[in-house]
Amino acid sequence: MQKKVIKYTVALILLLVVGYNSVYIKKLSEVKAASTVGKFDAAAYAQTFWKEKLTPGLTKANNLPELLTLLKSEKENAFKNYSHALGIGNLRYFLIKGEGKITAINENDISVTLLPDSVGKDVKIATEFVYGNAVRDALGILSINDFSNTMDMNNVSAELNKKIRTEIIPPFRAQAKKGDVVAFTGAIELNQAHLRLDEIEVIPVSLKLVRD
């Protein structure tokens, strides 16, 4: 009996020693810091891309009326030379610019008739549902190899779209009214296999009222 007591006592002591040595106490700040080492910062990446790449790159934007004319007459040429996308498929993105007269301020977008008057083409500027990869891809300077996974790529798009929704659209929408003329730059998404030029929606990168 005594031997069993000694045996169990020794086993208990060994268990306590092993358990104690396997427990490590670290500060919460140290754990958080360790977990973020090497983690992709989509917000910081998007800010740098916007400031150092996208904004300077707006000088390369295609005149929207001219692009629409080319798409009608030489679709393959237009897509080949002026559209971009990180992945394969029919969805392609164009960096564009233009001017238009506001004809309606809707709940989710602003209707615009392109100028000069001879163009007579209506497009919409998105003001509510800003999503997708158009702004990220339209400039055509990013590569899939720039990212370690698709989640990082998608998060960059989300951050760019968030910036547009929170910083670009609100001050413009607060001042814009029907009859105003707006100068805009931005991106459009078109499906090469099922091209619809009567449903152009611009995701804005810059918006400026130029005259009443």
C-alpha distances in Å from residue 90, one per residue of 34, 48, 136: 41, 29, 17
Distance CA(115)–CA(72), nearest Å, equals: 18
| Tens of pLDDT, residues 103-154 | 999 999 999 999 987 777 999 999 999 999 999 999 999 999 999 999 999 9
Query: 180: which DSSP letter?
Result: -
| Tens of pLDDT, residues 56-103 | 999 999 999 999 999 999 999 999 999 999 888 899 999 999 999 999
Residue extents of the structural domains in the chain: 40-211
CATH homologous superfamily of 40-211 equals Envelope glycoprotein gp160, DUF2291, alpha/beta domain (2.40.50.420)
What is the pTM for the complete model shown?
0.80
104, 108, 121: which is closest to 176 by C-alpha?
104
Is the CB of residue 86 less than 8 Å from the CB of residue 137? yes
